[in-house]
């Protein structure tokens, strides 16, 4: 007796899961050793079922809200004072300052202070000189996950063929 359970076709004590064949035409056979096989590349004893499986269905589900880091490059002008103000710095983190070829090191040549950047070494940009500052900020982002709907053969039209002796 051939039965269907979820994504599986069962015959006696054997079963084949058709999940991996979604979107394909599937033919299930009994081979010469009376084993269930799907789409065999060799001669078999008897075809027991044929079905065109629907393509895999996925749905997107909201996983939650996560903090996403992004870097922003701002050009500021070196002031005469000890601290160069960075507008809207808030709780953002200064990642780098100056042009890449200057190779300024955080907490060696410059330091982040409330509202801006304080230069610690003589290698600082000259007053009036404009230089880039990379600021790392965080924003909330909704994260999604793809969920694959399981294959349900009971919702599919399957053509069954009688087994030898008229048994199904």
pLDDT at 162: 81
- Do 66 and 51 have their domain in common? no
Spell 123-154 as b/e; 16+ CB within 10 A means b: ebbeeeeebebebeeeeeeeeeeeeeeebebe
Token look-up 């003589």 returns 122
Provide the number of structural domains found in the chain: 2
On whether residue 167 sits in a domain, the answer given is: no
On whether residue 39 sits in a domain, the answer given is: yes
On whether residue 51 sits in a domain, the answer given is: yes
For 94-119, how does the pLDDT look when each residue is reduced to its tens digit (9 = 90+)? Answer: 999 999 898 899 999 999 998 899 99
- Do 30 and 77 have their domain in common? no
- Do 32 and 69 have their domain in common? no
- Tell me how far apart the alpha carbons of residues 156 and 22 are, in angstroms, rounded to a whole number: 11
Distances (CA, A) of 54 to 8, 111, 159: 14, 60, 15
- Do 120 and 155 have their domain in common? no
- Do 78 and 94 have their domain in common? yes
On whether residue 133 sits in a domain, the answer given is: yes
On whether residue 166 sits in a domain, the answer given is: no
Q: Which domain holds residue 32?
A: 2-57+149-160
- Do 21 and 77 have their domain in common? no
pLDDT at 164: 67
On whether residue 108 sits in a domain, the answer given is: yes
* pTM, 2 dp: 0.53
- Do 53 and 87 have their domain in common? no
For 40-86, how does the pLDDT look when each residue is reduced to its tens digit (9 = 90+)? Answer: 888 887 888 999 999 999 999 999 999 999 999 999 999 988 899 99
On whether residue 168 sits in a domain, the answer given is: no
Q: Answer yes or no: is pLDDT of 126 > 70.
A: yes
- Do 17 and 72 have their domain in common? no
Query: 159: how many CB neighbours lie within 10 A of its CB?
Result: 11
- Do 78 and 50 have their domain in common? no
- Do 93 and 153 have their domain in common? no
């Amino acid at each position: 007796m051939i039965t269907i359970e979820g994504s599986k076709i069962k015959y006696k004590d054997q079963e084949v899961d058709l999940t991996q064949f979604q979107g394909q035409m599937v033919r299930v056979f009994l081979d010469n050793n009376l084993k269930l096989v799907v789409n065999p590349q060799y001669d078999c004893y008897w075809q027991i079922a044929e079905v065109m499986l629907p393509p895999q269905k996925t749905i997107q589900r909201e996983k939650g809200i996560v903090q996403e880091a992004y870097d922003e490059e701002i050009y500021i002008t070196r002031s005469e004072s000890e601290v160069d103000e960075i507008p809207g710095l808030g709780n953002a983190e200064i990642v780098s300052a100056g042009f890449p070829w200057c190779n300024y090191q955080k907490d060696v040549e410059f330091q982040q202070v409330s509202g801006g950047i304080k230069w610690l070494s003589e290698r600082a940009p000259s007053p009036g000189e404009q230089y880039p500052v990379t600021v790392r900020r965080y924003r909330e982002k909704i994260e999604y996950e793809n969920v694959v709907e399981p294959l349900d053969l009971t919702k599919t039209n399957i053509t069954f063929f009688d087994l030898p002796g008229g048994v199904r």
